[in-house]
Structure 1
Amino acid sequence: MGVVAPQMKLPKGPFKAYLFDCDGTIVDSMPLHYVAWKRVLAEWNCEFGEQTFYAWGGMPVAEIISTLNVRDGLTMPVEEIAKRKEALYFEILPELKAVPEVLEHIEFSHGHIPFAVVSGSTRDSVTASLDVLRLLDKFETLVCAGDYERSKPDPEPFLIAAKRLGVKPEDCLVFEDTEMGIQAATAAGMASVKILQPWEREKALVVESAID
């Protein structure tokens, strides 16, 4: 049974494994990813609105490019654009910060319960993000784009993580920042915790300040 961090409300356990999405959940990387996307897609005059970007959170990079191609009738070379986008993200990676309440929980619970990352990003991207924040060694396994055939909201990525950790799906707790990820966790038969998006966290801080 894991130890519960005092400032994060979790569903009633006990749980035998914690599965974390990476971007927007562990690391506050979504704004940086969006900057990278905007720069590379501008070269193709491809509009990628912020709401769409966050709604597609958890979707693998190659899948996003293919979907944009279909949506806009474009012929962006998927592999080339994916590499360019990743390279732009790595350029601004030093600006990366952790999501405070999730970082606190990871540090509080590490060693009490096994952790896995379940992400739609590439292994290189996830590894680089976690390495910058010195968190990589806290996770027993990483399930990233390329490790599964069906991405979130399909449950496959989470089920692979549970199998690797040797834990039943119903004994896993998922930490996610997108509805797509929450749907995937639910479909896998797992309990979940919704992490606030950047603007939601800012709004919550404003409300807390007003109350104080």
Structure 2
Amino acid sequence: MKSTAKGIIFDLDGTIWDSMPYRIKAWEMAFRDYGIDSDPEVIRLMIGYPGSMLIKKMNARDPSIEMAEERYFSGMFSDVKFFPDVADTFKELRNLGFKIAIVTSSRRAMAERLDIQVDALVTMDDVANGKPDPEGYRKAMAVMGTSPGSTVVVGDIDNDLIPAKALGSVAVLVTHGIKKESKNMDYEIQNIGDLIGLLKKIKMA
């Protein structure tokens, strides 16, 4: 029997959670501890990828650098906020009958500290392969009871949208006022709240 459930999968960092400046700073501090000079712009472009990929990008190999970043970021945690329209948007999505999931490259211990209710939470600790592999999205859809055709994916970088397109889901890029490019987006919105109007235009399976 075909599922009629509708779902939205959100990325976390930089998509619904305004964490990018803090993540960049935490990575810079972590790399500095290991005697590595880092470029904040390279770090910014790699946020959302598994930490191991960023470490490799900086020509480093020690996986403990990621744990150092998590410790530094944990100390900044109370300063990080959700984008201001997220709570109202989530409430409206539920009123419209959508289930909500977060699929993130962050660790579960960190993500579970967030005061946000979702139907599915898939973290880096829950998958064998992080984004752009679609494994995390498949897991989230299984929990929500949705199909790729009845699921919309929202992210702030191409790495979030590549697996959406691979599965056949609608891919939405959120820019938060920053000029971005994506070869994999179906639609672009500036703010999370813009998603509500967009959903009225999208034909879902």
TM over 0.5: yes
Q: How does 1:83-162 map to 2 (within 5 A)?
A: 83-110=67-94, 112-128=97-113, 130-131=114-115, 135=116, 138-162=117-141
Return the structure number with greater relative CO, CA threshold 8 A, min gap 6.
1
Shifted more, 174-183 versus 51-60: the winner is 51-60
Task: Give the ranges of 4+ consecutive aligned residues of structure 1 lying more than 4 Å apart after TM superposition.
Answer: 197-201
The answer to whether residue 23 in structure 2 is matched with residue 33 in structure 1 is yes
C-alpha contact 1:54 1:178 (8 A) present in aligned 2: no
Q: Is the 8 A contact 2:10 2:153 kept in 1?
A: yes
Within the candidate set 150, 157, 168, 1:178 is matched to: 157
2:36 to 43, 46, 50: 46
CA distance in 2, matches of 1:46, 1:15: 47
Listed as ranges, the gaps of 5+ residues in structure 2 are: 181-189, 192-205
CA RMSD of aligned residues (A): 2.4
Contact 1:60/1:122 (CA < 8 Å) preserved in 2?
A: no
What's the CA shift for 1:169? Answer: 0.9
- The CA deviation string for residues 150-205 of structure 1, in whole angstroms up to 9 with x for no partner, is 2212222111211121111111011101111111211121102211157459xx89
**Structure with the larger helix share:** 1
**CA distance in 1: counterparts of 2:151 and 2:174, whole angstroms:** 16
- Partner amino acid for 1:150? N
> How far did 1:44 drift?
2.2
5+ residue gaps in structure 1?
Answer: 1-13, 206-212
Number of paired residues? 178
Tell me, in whole angstroms, the C-alpha distance in 2 between the residues paired with 1:53 and 1:174.
23
Percent identity between the two aligned chains: 25
Query: How does the TM-score come out when normalised to structure 1?
Result: 0.75
Change (3 A) 1:34 1:43: same
Cα distance between partner residues in 1 of 2:146 and 2:140: 9
> Which residue of structure 2 lines up, in the alignment, with residue 21 of structure 1?
11
In structure 1, C-alpha distance between the alignment counterparts of 2:158 and 2:44, rounded to whole Å: 9
Q: Distance in 1 between matches of 2:157 and 2:47?
A: 6
> 2:165–2:171: 8 Å Cα contact kept in structure 1?
yes
SS in 1 for 2:124: coil
TM-score (norm 2): 0.77
Deviates further, 53-62 or 154-163: 53-62
Secondary structure of the structure 2 residue equivalent to 1:187: helix
